[in-house]
Amino acid sequence: MNTFTKILLIASFSFMNINSGQTIDKIYPYLEKLCTDLHENPELSLQEENTSSRISAELRKAGFDVTEKFGGNGLVGILKNGNGKTILIRTDLDALPIEENTGLPFTSKNKGVMHACGHDIHMSVFVGVANLLASNKDKWNGTVMMVGQPAEEIGRGSKMMIEAGLYEKFGVPDYALAIHIASGVESGTVTYYPGNAMANASSITIKVHGLGGHGALPQNTIDPIVLASQIIISFQTIVSREISPFEPAVVTVGYIKGGTKHNIIPNEVEMGLTIRSFNDEVHSKLIESITSKSKNIAKSYGLPDKLLPEITISDYTPSVYNDPELTNHVVNLLKSKLGNEKVYQSSRWTAAEDFANYSRTKEKVPGLMLWVGAEKKETMEKIKKGEKTPIVHSADFVPDYKHTIITGVKTISEAAFDLLKK
């Protein structure tokens, strides 16, 4: 983006005046406008240039020293306020390749791109927290590290930030905090899970080779479609017979493709899998078993070694681990601020989140991701009746923007004020 475009972008949005003693009630109207603007202008992973510039400008206005283009389209805002601990607060910047179908007045203007996972809310909360911290310096000492991360939806952004030298350049934080909105959970509430809260995830691509030929003469071929089918059936016993029933795990074949015509047996078939677990050893076991079954079943069909299945593993995202001590401390604080009934432990998610990587470095930074409820009361009534309602990653998903943003800002700002208290 050239300088002129940046000036136009920044000029198109009226910044909030940062006064001392700001409160969430005072700044919410501004955050709502910011959120709708972000929602209208989503950008895909690795393309978040305008979004990153917008959030960077917001942090500068609040008084942060901002570094842009860090780890791709990432940004880092630093605000020092005397001696004390350092807290990393993260937001994701990217959107999903989904054609929006919400009918909202601020529907995405970018065809085929939508903030369907709440990152527009995450960024609005992020800016709100930054402003509250900047305008209430009398309440805390230390350093706030605001990290705007690209490419979360493809599981690469946090690793890009860390490999770019995040901790070497800006210092190692004492804590790392983040939120994620939660569909199916009422707005105004906050849920948590101590320990491994979100899943390990990897994508696996398997090319199953065979010896093609005429569909009327299958005896002269080694049919990769039949072979692939048997391999897929064998995967169904991994979780049920090879993994402890006390360890959750998922093996899903998301696609299988091969062949061109009714009467032709092809030379190869490709399939794509996702695997999920909460335990690193289980994750390794899943990969080991998938590899072993694929190759050994192929051998049983008489394939030579050079035609055994090709297995490619990609997009690894480790499990989000919520440090139990940090979780307990922040949860007790939030219960006192929001009410016991508003903060409760939920189940783990088999979804993946690369926030995990900020704690997976040699420094082992204690991390905590909290889930902020995003559903309106009327949606919750439908859910209680057993009705299916749109969830995150759906083209029809419409969260309760106001109460979700307000609760998110309260959650992270109260945690930050407490962890950095004088």
254-280 per-position pLDDT tens digit = 999 999 999 999 999 999 999 999 999
Residue 9 lies in a domain: no
Q: Is 418 left (phi over 0), alpha (psi -120 to 50) or beta?
A: alpha
Same domain, 378 and 361: yes
Residue 52 lies in a domain: yes
Same domain, 193 and 334: yes
70-113 per-position pLDDT tens digit = 999 999 999 999 999 999 999 999 999 999 999 999 999 999 99
Same domain, 250 and 263: yes
* 8 Å CB contact between 76 and 166: yes
Same domain, 267 and 176: no
Q: What is the pLDDT of residue 59?
A: 98
Residue 6 lies in a domain: no
pTM of the model: 0.91
Same domain, 288 and 225: yes
Residue 127 phi/psi, 5-degree rounding, is -65, -40
Residue 256 lies in a domain: yes
Same domain, 294 and 338: no
Same domain, 307 and 360: no
pLDDT average, residue stretch 46-53? 98
| Cα end-to-end distance, the chain, whole Å | 41
Residue 227 lies in a domain: yes
What's the rounded Cα separation, in Å, for the pair 151 and 146?
Answer: 16
pLDDT average, residue stretch 115-134? 98
Residue 215 phi/psi, 5-degree rounding, is -65, -20
- Closest of 80, 83, 78 to residue 68, by C-alpha: 78
Write the CATH number for 245.
Answer: 3.30.70.360
pLDDT average, residue stretch 393-398? 98
| Domain count across the chain | 2
Average pLDDT score over the chain: 95
Same domain, 178 and 209: no
* 8 Å CB contact between 191 and 369: no
Residue 231 lies in a domain: yes
Last residue of a domain, one of 301, 317, 333: 317
Same domain, 228 and 299: yes
2-18 per-position pLDDT tens digit = 443 343 344 344 445 55
Q: What is the pLDDT of residue 20?
A: 64
Domain carrying residue 265: 200-317
Same domain, 168 and 189: yes
pLDDT average, residue stretch 170-187? 98
140-164 per-position pLDDT tens digit = 999 999 999 999 999 999 999 999 9
What's the rounded Cα separation, in Å, for the pair 166 and 170?
Answer: 6
What's the rounded Cα separation, in Å, for the pair 392 and 117?
Answer: 5
Q: What is the pLDDT of residue 402?
A: 98
- Closest of 315, 313, 320 to residue 357, by C-alpha: 320
Predicted confidence (pLDDT) at residue 122 exceeds the cutoff of 70: yes
350-369 per-position pLDDT tens digit = 999 999 999 999 999 999 99
Same domain, 294 and 354: no
CA angle 221/224/228 to nearest 5° reads 150
